[in-house]
Structure 1
Amino acid sequence: MSNLRAALAEDMRVGAGNVLLMLAEHGADRDTPRVTFDVDVDGIPAWTPFSLATLTERVAARAEWFAGRGVGRRDPVAIYVTSSADVFLNFFALTWLGAIPALMNGNMPTEIAAAYVRKLRGTGVVVDADHAGLREYDLGMPVLGDASETGTGDPAKAPPHFRHDGEDPVAITHSSGTTRMPTAVVHSHHSLFAAIRAVRLTEARPYGQVRELSALPAAHAAGIIVINQALCNGYQILCLSAQGGSLERGTERILDAIERWRPTGVFGFAVTWSELARFDLSTRDLGSVRIWSSTGDCAHETHVRNLIAAGSHVEWTRNGMVQVAGSKFIDMLGSSEMGHSAFFMTHRLGSDRYDRCVGRPYPFAEVALLDVVTGEEVPVGQVGQCGLRAPTVAPGYWNDSAATYRTRLGGYYLTGDLMYRDEDGYYYQVDRATDALDLGDGTWLYTALSEERILTGCPDVRDCTVVAARDDDGGPVADVLLVLHDGADPARDRGEEIRAGLGAAAHVLRRIDVVADDDVVLGPTGKVRKFIMRQRILAGAAER
């Protein structure tokens, strides 16, 4: 397998759009269990491991089905479904044809999904039973069929696999929609594989069998990367689906799957870890987990410490290898546009570098913290906008060149993160640029950093959202929304701890509210939609 990994890394034909083809050409074992889905697939029961041969055969059936409906090279096809199997099998099938799968998070509201599809101006869309309501809208493209039909094609009649160039578009994913409408992000054959080539195929293979569980949204760029890197590394992977229902029940399914499938590694977004914080993990059997891998937003210290106390890891001693309590948490700051996380930070029991530290950049990433007015780099210790140069960066936004160019400055892609760097070369994310508030005289309210410090100072708070805005008179105000742990007293005065968390911005605190989970507006990927929260809060203040 080590020779296969090296061969795949060196073969520049390999990319995100042809992993199955390249594994076959390089002689990968076709019979070993590779991918497991938590839903039935074409009569194959849920939880049945797919070998590379079975996976390829099921993908070929879908490629023939799409080809029979006229789909071919460069045709954008939207996929609006629930199960991870429907996302990934149709992704592989469309790239087989040289088409461009536009993967949509199944949690996107139907009305917004319809507007998003219209803007794609694609060839067609595939839905499932959960999303059949999309058929009622004027989409500007036909509904090609239900996802349950796509596997009925004849795999023996699938056309030859398309041969990709590195710059060919192979996927359209979308941003989290935390501000307004989700934005369509286009990825190339090489950009969506660059980190796998540079890091995942060259790093040391973990000891023993590797079994990875992905709780990432399958339709996200991170979902595609994780399944492709598992296939290329020869790891086994379980791809969970967003089955709907409450966040609590969805998160409990993750715990159930860990106990059932016994993974050594678990992938998720920051929201996954905040939801796991509602459970007493000591009552669950999580001993198989060695590593928790996070991407998207920086994870909160309190949630990280909750996880690394669970699981186990291997240590070598004078008496040989031993399994010891405690796991590792790898925090990787990333986004759809970044293509892959640019930073990584490893936490373990006893580590103490938190306060929204995202670590150091990966070797493939060139990072600069910029003053967006002058374009110059800011000095150590000063907050600037994160600029990124990396082969992973998405080429741009689909059908929106204006947005593409607005995010470029001095040859860098502006990630939208406000960060500073310390003397040791570690980077810290303090907020998103759209959420921070300038209070004047060099003072800023950084909402994400405030949330981090409030959570650290209030152990009975499970999650926290700080919303900053300007009132009708133009003055800065901040509201703090707290979601409490079960049994916590909602009437307890937490004002002192919250003001300490806000620091120099404490004077703009307007109110503190204890809220339920449903009172916090989330986007399709679980991120807080602070743009909507600001509108709601200001509207409520006007009514009062």
Structure 2
Amino acid sequence: MNPKNERAELAADQRLGVGNVLTTLLDRGTELDAPTLTFDTEVDGHPAWQAHSLAELGQRVAARAAALHGLGVRPRDPVAVWVSAAADQVLSYLALVRIGAIPALVNGRLAAEQAGEYIKRLRPVGVIVDAPHRNALDSVDSAVPVLADPAELGAGDPEAAPQPYRHHGSEPVVITHSSGTTGLPKAVIHSHHSLFAAIRHRLLLPKGQGLARMLGVLPSAHAATVIAVNLALTNRTQLALLSQQSGGPVLDAIESWQPQSVLGFATTWSELAGADFSQRDLSSIRTWWNTGDCAHEAHIRKLVAAGMREAVTSEGRVRKPGSFFVDGLGSSEMGHSQFFITHTPDTSRYGRCIGKPHAFSDVAIVDDDGTKLGPGEVGQLAINAPTLSLGYWNDSVTTYRTRRDGYFLTGDLVFRDEEGYYYHVDRAVDAVDLDEGKKLYTMLCEERVLAECADVLECTVVAVPSEGKVATTVLLMLDPQADQEADRTAEVLAALESHVAATVERVVVVSQDRIPLGATGKVRKFLLRQRFLDGELLGQTEGAGVSA
């Protein structure tokens, strides 16, 4: 079959969604021996880093579906999955949707207290949990029955698996969760069609560079991994899934597996940007794909200098040094990045530019009253798209608070320029009003510090309103080769707007372990604000520029 024809046929199939891609492809009966998913751990005796063919993947999923069905799992049953290995997360998801159950994927890095409360609020029929997480769950008494250790599920008989469930477009098919940076993560419901909508759109476009061999370094419990798995399957391409997202293991995987593209979050790019690429082989890379928070210019420029890409010139298609970086902005609730912009070593549109909206997205910028704003005006980002989640599981109050006039209010502050490009300046909960109508946008401050201060690898800005004034702290993580004791205050203040610089009380050099992070690597600024209000200074005693 012509691959172009198959992609068009899959895009046109309205029965297809994230609940039945695998079973649909198996039913088509073509390319059953073609490599699909690769895991970084052994699966049922199948070695780590060895691809599963489509037929092998189908057998492993059917075995788990049979085992779960034998344990009493039935269609529409919510089942929590709290594990560390990407293989356990992905195979459990595929097995549960084959039955018609609703997997609730839980990030393996979530703290036990948070995970226990989150799982309890889901009210699932049970939880699939590996040994380390079972001990953690027992310690917080979540009162949710344990169904199985994922290591046991592969012993099921594939021939005993029930017939695949018939999914419908608007039905809930999988639950993922938000990052939890402001408190307990929110359980986000995705339908059969919502997480597939962007994939359907991409199937009608030419394949992007680097899709033939992709390395997924996204959190395996995230909606982005569900999308990546189904994107790879429908495009008949290879996807390797890494169980951790830290820089060293990612670079090791790039060198050993030689992917053409890497899919990740901003926190991974930050760590990679701090590495010495001269000691690494990144020649296979054509494209870096970012989702979630948009990435910083300083990190993008480091990444696009590596690898090779194909470019169209007057002499035809040629290979050029340097790679693509596809940036955007998305969230679990948005279901997919709603914007895109492609950077190369030759591009210069930065300043937290997230690009232009995808064709499937209706984007608006609104004020607090819901009035749409024009170019240059900062307001709340509002999205209406087929990728949007159905809302929050067991939480209709929060669901409806975030919806207005058919739009989802994302919690992001953005503006667009006269050319139609959008720029992200902050999360609404982190921005602060200053005198005379001026604003302090913490993420925009971080972007400027990173762009102007070469020795700074990462920056976190926290603004705390208290007793009629705003006290801003700038936390810096430096290149290990930089002078850790030097006073960076003047350099940092010079990078900021004058009205923002006037609020800065402290510039502090810290180690990464002093910054509280959520399960997906996002900084928990609300915790830092509370710590500062409580008098904690991260080791600083007095004056700016002192290391902690």
Q: 1:320 to 1:441 in 2, by over 3 A?
A: closer
| 1:436 alignment partner, one of 428, 431, 434 | 431
Q: Deviations over 1:392-429 (max 9, x none)?
A: 00010000000001111222100111000000000000
Letter in 1 for 2:233: L
Letter in 1 for 2:165: F
Note if contact 1:4-1:28 (Cα within 8 Å) is conserved in structure 2: no
2:356 aligns with 360
Q: 1:140 to 1:132 in 2, by over 3 A?
A: closer
- 1:486-525 alignment, distance < 5 Å: 486-503=480-497, 504-525=499-520
Distance 2:47 2:141 in 1: 36
- 1:45-56 alignment, distance < 5 Å: 45-56=47-58
1:140 aligns with 143
Note if contact 2:310-2:317 (Cα within 8 Å) is conserved in structure 1: yes
Distance 2:495 2:407 in 1: 32
1:226 aligns with 228
Question: Over aligned residue pairs, what C-alpha RMSD do you find?
Answer: 1.6
Distance 2:46 2:301 in 1: 39
Letter in 1 for 2:476: L
1:258 aligns with 254
Q: Which moves more between the two structures, 483-492 or 317-326?
A: 317-326
1:161 aligns with 164
Alpha-carbon offset, residue 319 of structure 1? 6.1
Distance 2:500 2:215 in 1: 40
Q: Which moves more between the two structures, 17-26 or 487-496?
A: 487-496
- 1:12-161 alignment, distance < 5 Å: 12-133=14-135, 134-161=137-164
Q: 1:209 to 1:124 in 2, by over 3 A?
A: closer
| 2:421 alignment partner, one of 420, 426, 430 | 426
| 1:531 alignment partner, one of 511, 519, 526 | 526
Q: Deviations over 1:161-213 (max 9, x none)?
A: 00001011111100001101111101000001000001x21121246981000
Note if contact 1:4-1:26 (Cα within 8 Å) is conserved in structure 2: no
Letter in 2 for 1:340: H
Alpha-carbon offset, residue 332 of structure 1? 1.9
| 2:399 alignment partner, one of 375, 399, 404 | 404
Alpha-carbon offset, residue 318 of structure 1? 6.5
Letter in 2 for 1:147: P
2:546 aligns with none
Letter in 1 for 2:177: H
Q: Secondary structure at the match of 1:28?
A: coil
1:190 aligns with 193
Q: Secondary structure at the match of 2:133?
A: helix
Q: Secondary structure at the match of 2:319?
A: strand
Distance 2:139 2:437 in 1: 51
Distance 1:339 1:501 in 2: 35
Aligned residue pairs total 535
Alpha-carbon offset, residue 21 of structure 1? 1.4
Note if contact 2:210-2:285 (Cα within 8 Å) is conserved in structure 1: no
Alpha-carbon offset, residue 470 of structure 1? 1.6
Letter in 2 for 1:485: D
Q: 1:313 to 1:470 in 2, by over 3 A?
A: same
| 1:477 alignment partner, one of 471, 474, 479 | 471
Alpha-carbon offset, residue 138 of structure 1? 2.6
Alpha-carbon offset, residue 316 of structure 1? 4.7
Alpha-carbon offset, residue 353 of structure 1? 0.3
Distance 1:431 1:144 in 2: 41
Q: 1:508 to 1:264 in 2, by over 3 A?
A: same
Distance 1:433 1:319 in 2: 48
Alpha-carbon offset, residue 496 of structure 1? 2.6
- 1:191-206 alignment, distance < 5 Å: 191-198=194-201, 200-206=202-208
Distance 1:340 1:144 in 2: 31
Distance 1:346 1:450 in 2: 23
Q: 1:379 to 1:164 in 2, by over 3 A?
A: same
Distance 2:116 2:344 in 1: 44
Alpha-carbon offset, residue 317 of structure 1? 5.4
Stretches of structure 2 lacking an aligned partner (at least 5 in a row) = 542-548
